[in-house]
Structure formats: C-alpha cells, structure tokens
A = this chain, B = another copy of it.
C-alpha cells in the first residue's frame, strides 16, 4: 500500500498505541523470575479493577475462543443442561464449544441484530426447569461482534438469578469489557471472559478470565477434561507470580503498559470515548446512505455492522478501501456478504473515525455513487458531541478513576 497512514478499523485486533507497540520489542525475561512476578503483581489487580471484581482474574495464553473453552471445560460436566442465549455468530460458537464437550445445550436464539430480552431468558430458564433440566449454567454474550449488538447483561443476569439462582453465569465479554460499562461483581457474574486484542489495545495472544468463588467450587465437581485450560493451575501459579505454562511474555509486557494507559485515562473517559466513537460511526454511515444492521436501542459502541447495498460489489469496494489505507471487516457466519463491519474499540478516537469516514466518502464518490462531500463528517462530529454530553454522569465509581489519575497524566482521548 502506498498510503502514508493505515487505518485498521476491524473489531479486533485493534491498532496499538505507540507505548504498547514498543513494549512488544522488549527483550525476553524469565517467566519464572522476579521481573515477571512483578508484572503479574501489577496486571492482575489492574484487571480486577477493569472487571470490577474482587475475585480471581487469570491470564491464559490463547485467543478469546480459547477463553470461552476454558470457561466451559472448567465448570461443567458432560450431560449438564446449559442455556445458551445467542444473538449472533459468537453466541453460537460459545454454545458449540459446550456441545463439543458433551453438555446438553438448549439454545435461545435471538434474531440477529437484536438484543436478548430478560423476559425471554426468564421464560427459557423456567421452561428448562419445568422439563426437569434446570440449567447448570447460562451463557450470555455481552457484545456480539458479528451483529454489533450490546446485550443488557445486568438485567439478563438478574432474570437468571431470580429464576435459577443456582445456575452459573458465564459471560463472553471479549469485545466489550474495558470499553463499555461493566460490573462483574455487581451483576453477580461467575465467569467473565475478555481478550487482549479488543478494548485493551494489546496484540492478540491472551484471554483474561474472572472466576467467582462459586465457580471455583463448581470446578471441583466439573468433569470435562482439561489440561492447558485448567484454570485452577493458572490460579495456583498466579499466586506465585507466574503461569502454569510458558505465557506469551511480550503480550504480557504490552498488557502491562496498556493497562497503565487505560487507568491514566480513567474508565469513565474510556467509556465516553467509545460512546462518542460509536455515535460518530453510526451517524456517519447513515449519512453516507448505509442502513445499519443492529437495533438502535442496543447498538454497540465497539463495533457497527451496516448492510452492503444490493448494488455495491463489496469485494471490489473493500479492496479499493484497502488501497486507500482503510481496512474494514466483512460479515461473519450467516451475514457473510450481507453486512460489513467497522471496528471502533481499543485504540480509537473520534478523529480516527472521521478519517475512516472520509476515506469511505472518497471511495463512494470514486465508485460513482452520490456523495454530499463532507456531510458524513459533519454528522459524525455532531453525533460525537451529543454522545459525549450524555455521559455527564458516568456509571463507574468516580473515585477509582480519580485514584488512577493521581499522577495528573492524561492520555489523548
């Protein structure tokens, strides 16, 4: 590519801030030595603050999918009834992993592009109970990357808790946690999974999981086979400042640096930045004539899916965008060829969204489509302002952010 700038706007891996990039070039250290133990001593508490949990958080050298597998195999036994609430391709994947290991999975499939509804979840749990198959676990997706939907995890979790209080709540928060308000302990979640290459602004290679006390108890009885993904081995090693198997050391360096940047910015500011970027993306795409895929009431602030117009050759158009320096993502699973996706999570600012929209505008004009030059940029900028103004009362504990900002440093937002 002959472009001076590259704009990677896929829903993970996200671009890396320079200090995170540079930590990837650090020389190796012994993962059984004091430097690595010191790193674990910083990273684990920082993640606990990010998850909002006082429970254990473990690092596993794998992708988000491996994190989902770890959640399944540590807490379930073959034959266990499971309710998998799925709103897209990643919800389906979570369910498929459990089936693969012999769980008795009931799917609650929500129309793609819509969020799950607490009442529907409550009814599904009750129906399983009535059939004598009370769910051992309920799977929820926080932010569905294939459709650009954010589920209301608090109300969904409450619906499960009120109906089947004994069911474990396993939550795929891979592409939302860290960018969107989230409250692991407040919502009573048992296992929450995220991945380094999403909101955390780190290359892929690490899954991070929180595990509640009752999830640990469940793991004692869970008989699905596991070795690499054995979370208890991870917890035991973490208590000695290490990992049971050799971890991806450079990705750990980068996570350490990135968590420092995030805490200096402060979670309320991070959430507001994502809200502004999400609003700007949606307004800009609409202004360019694209139809958004997701229910606006539950549109994700980390990824937006838009329908590919019937008269647009997406393969050709996306190759042209790449030639202009902009990389977007296509559709996934059943949505392949139907939608395209713009990632706006992790290392992203409103300016970067405006740059992406500007390239889209240029490419549409070059393709001979009607474009009101600059209108999408103006619409996006105004939407970003409105979204920022609405975040006057951030949902996070302000004291946490104040502490993190004690050094007065601010990261560009």
- Are B205 and A61 neighbours in the complex by a CB distance under 8 Å? yes
In-complex Cβ contact of A245 among B29, B66, B251 (8 A): B66
Q: Which B residues touch A10, using CB under 8 A?
A: 30, 32
**Contact status A322-B225, CB under 8 Å:** no
Q: Is A187 an interface residue (CB 8 A)?
A: no
Closest residue of chain B to A98, judged by CB? B227
Partner of A63, one of B13, B102, B245: B245
A96 contacts B by Cβ under 8 Å: yes
Max count, chain B CB within 10 A of own CB: residue among A244, A249, A329: A249
Compute how far the CA of A204 lies from the CA of B102 in the bound complex, rounded to whole angstroms. Answer: 32
A260 at the interface (CB under 8 A from B): no
Q: Which of B16, B26, B246 contacts A21 (CB 8 A)?
A: B26
Using Cβ atoms and an 8 Å threshold, which residues of chain B touch A8? Answer: 27-30
Roughly how many angstroms separate A322 CA and B248 CA in the complex, as a whole number? 22
The answer, yes or no, to whether A62 is at the interface (CB within 8 Å) is yes
Q: Does A377 contact B (CB under 8 A)?
A: no
* Interface bits A60-86 vs B (CB < 8 Å: 1, else 0): 011111100100000000000000000
The answer to whether B22 touches A25, judged by C-beta atoms less than 8 angstroms apart, is: yes
A27-B32 contact, Cβ under 8 Å, with A225-B101, A227-B69, A250-B203? no
- Chain B residues near A102 (CB-CB < 8 A): 225
Contact B205 A248 (CB under 8 A): yes
How far apart are the CA atoms of A30 and B250 in the complex, in Å? 19
List the B side residues contacting A229 at CB < 8 Å.
228
> Contact between B245 and A64 (Cβ–Cβ < 8 Å)?
yes
Residue A110 is within 8 A (CB to CB) of chain B in the complex: no
Contact of A62 among B26, B31, B61, B203 (CB under 8 A): B61
Chain B's closest residue to A230 (CB) is B100
Chain A 11-43 interface mask (CB, 8 Å, partner B; 1/0): 011111000011111111111111000000000
A140 interface residue (CB < 8 Å to B) = no
Task: Provide the A134-157 mask, 1 if CB < 8 A to any CB of B, else 0.
Answer: 000000000000000000000000
- Tell me the minimal C-beta distance from A294 to chain B in angstroms: 21
Most buried by B among A22, A34, A229, A245: A245
Which residues on A are within 8 Å of B, measured CB to CB? Answer: 6, 8, 10, 12-16, 21-34, 61-66, 69, 96-97, 100-102, 195, 197, 203-205, 224-229, 244-251, 322, 327, 329-330
Given contacts A61-B205, A197-B246, 8 further A-B contacts (CB under 8 A): A13-B30, A13-B249, A24-B24, A24-B25, A24-B26, A33-B322, A101-B225, A205-B248
